[in-house]
Amino acid sequence: MKPERRRVRRWIAAAAILLVGCGSTGTEPAASHEPFLCAFPYPPPPGFVEKDRLEVPAIGHIGVRQVLVGGDDRDVILTAGIAGEFGEGLPVVGEVPIASGGTASLIGERHTWMLIWSEGPPCATITLTGNGFTRRSFRELAIGMGLVAHGGD
């Protein structure tokens, strides 16, 4: 056999080995380059419908803000994974145990109430805001969502 043919055969054999060694078996899912979309970790309150939704891009995830309205001029705002100041100007009233095992800060007065707590990354900051609620009716809302136990607050 001529030396030139041997070189060609060796090159073909090496290329075949390389292709087999680097080939995909097709069993692994392709890596997603989509950022993680955050979601509020509890179901929305009964009787409220989504009026507005905003997705906020952040590093490694997309935060979400949902505005829900009820038939009685009250609204609920749910956020997950959005950094920033929440409840500015409202007094901190105390801490409330939540169903996930942690605690949430209760902030508010008169007809605006808010619970703020932290979950694991990437959607660390979670908030529930109620506008048009008394403290008692806001507590009942959080209980109805499964967020706060009956003894909370």
The neighbour count for residue 39, using CB atoms within 10 Å, is 13
What confidence tens digit (pLDDT) does each residue in 79-92 have?
999 988 888 899 99
Write down the pTM of the prediction: 0.76
Residues 123, 63 contacting (CB under 8 angstroms):
yes
The DSSP code for 134 is: -
What confidence tens digit (pLDDT) does each residue in 25-57 have?
444 444 567 889 999 999 999 999 999 999 999
CA triple 135-138-139, angle to 5 deg: 85
As assigned by CATH, the class of the 36-144 domain is: alpha beta
